[in-house]
């Protein structure tokens, strides 16, 4: 396959990020940007974020997950512990999160250390999920090979019958992850590819702000 994409270009001109605008910690700026993205009519699933981890095969891989909470400075999402990314994070707890809001020409890149949240916290969130999503957590052996779509639908049906007229329990293989940042980069598109980039890095328990060349 060949495809020439050289003609795909755009000029970034929807905003600027000056050092005078930067708060002392990255969470304040993230909250401002997240709120503006959530209120923007052209941003869909504002909490969608890429997570990159080094797999058991030594290759990095990025998947989209949904941010569900920021708690005491940690970014929390939920997934299957036995999935490919779950096994990767078990082996190497250094990960990267990536938010991209093209309508605002903004990105946020977070490097951090991932760990599992408590089972109590996972259960509290699991109870809030729609019943269909709860059943899906039981029906899908995430990342495993399956023979067909019909196989997945049959597994879902079997768990519908198993848990009929009762509360669905939290699976042992499913729960939350918490990413504690060591650096947070804010990227604002600017004309002529001279983008504004600032990174917050934790140094001696304080955040150090550095401007990066685009």
> Could you read off the pLDDT of 106-152 as tens digits, one per residue?
999 999 999 999 999 999 999 999 999 999 999 988 888 889 999 99
- Residue range 52-61: average pLDDT? 96
DSSP 167: P
Asked whether the predicted pLDDT for residue 171 surpasses 90, the reply is yes
Q: What is the DSSP string of 98-145?
A: EEEEGGGTEEEEEEEEEEEPPHHHHHHHHHHS-HHHHHHHHH--TTS-
Cβ-proximal residues to 81 (8 Å cutoff; 6+ apart), any chain: 90, 116, 173, 174, 175
Q: What is the pLDDT of residue 11?
A: 86
Across the chain, what does the average pLDDT equal? 95
pLDDT-based confidence at residue 9 (cuts at 50, 70, 90): confident
Q: Span 19-129+172-212: which CATH code?
A: 2.30.110.10
Q: Would you state the pLDDT for residue 21? A: 87
pLDDT at 82 over 90: yes
Q: In a 3-state reduction of DSSP, which class is residue 97?
A: strand
User: Looking at 38, 131, 193, 211, which residue is catalytic?
Assistant: 193
Lowest-pLDDT choice from 7-11, 109-113, 185-189: 7-11
Would you say residue 205 has pLDDT above 90?
Answer: no
Residue boundaries of the structural domains of the chain:
19-129+172-212
Does pLDDT of 211 surpass 90? yes
**Residues 28-32, mean pLDDT to the nearest whole number:** 97
Q: How far apart are CA 106 and CA 74, in angstroms?
A: 21
Mean pLDDT of 58-63: 96
Query: Per-residue pLDDT for 188 more than 90?
Result: yes
What would the mean pLDDT of 38-56 be, rounded to a whole number? Answer: 96
Residue 149 annotated among the catalytic residues of the structure: no
Q: How confident is the model at residue 55, as a pLDDT?
A: 94
pLDDT of residue 97 exceeding 90: yes
Query: Residues 30, 31, 37, CA angle at the centre, nearest 5°?
Result: 85
Is pLDDT of 155 > 90?
yes
Closest CA to 210 of 199, 196, 195, 202: 199
Share of the chain above pLDDT 90, in %: 89
Compute the average pLDDT of residues 17-21: 91
Please report, in angstroms and rounded to a whole number, the separation of the first and last CA atoms in the chain: 31
Hey, what are 67's tokens? 């941010």
Residue 166: pLDDT over 90: yes
């Amino acid at each position: 396959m060949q495809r020439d994409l050289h003609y795909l270009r755009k000029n970034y001109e929807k905003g600027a990020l000056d050092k005078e605008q930067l708060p002392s910690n990255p969470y304040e700026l993230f909250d401002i940007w997240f709120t503006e993205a959530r209120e923007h009519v052209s941003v869909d699933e504002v909490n969608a974020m890429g997570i990159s981890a080094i797999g058991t095969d030594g290759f990095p891989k990025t998947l989209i997950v949904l941010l569900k909470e920021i708690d005491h400075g940690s970014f929390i999402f939920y997934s299957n512990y036995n999935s490919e990314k779950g096994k990767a994070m078990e082996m190497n707890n250094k990960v990267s999160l990536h938010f991209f809001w093209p309508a605002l020409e903004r990105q946020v890149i977070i490097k951090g250390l991932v760990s599992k949240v408590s089972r109590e916290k996972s259960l509290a969130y699991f109870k809030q999920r729609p019943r269909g999503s709860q059943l899906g957590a039981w029906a899908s052996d995430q990342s495993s090979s399956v023979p067909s779509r019909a196989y997945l639908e049959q597994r879902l049906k079997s768990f519908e019958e198993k848990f009929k007229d009762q509360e669905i329990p939290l699976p042992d293989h499913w729960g939350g992850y918490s990413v504690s940042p060591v650096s947070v980069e804010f990227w604002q598109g600017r004309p002529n590819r001279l983008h504004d980039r600032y990174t917050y890095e934790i140094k001696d328990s304080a955040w150090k702000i550095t401007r990066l060349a685009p």
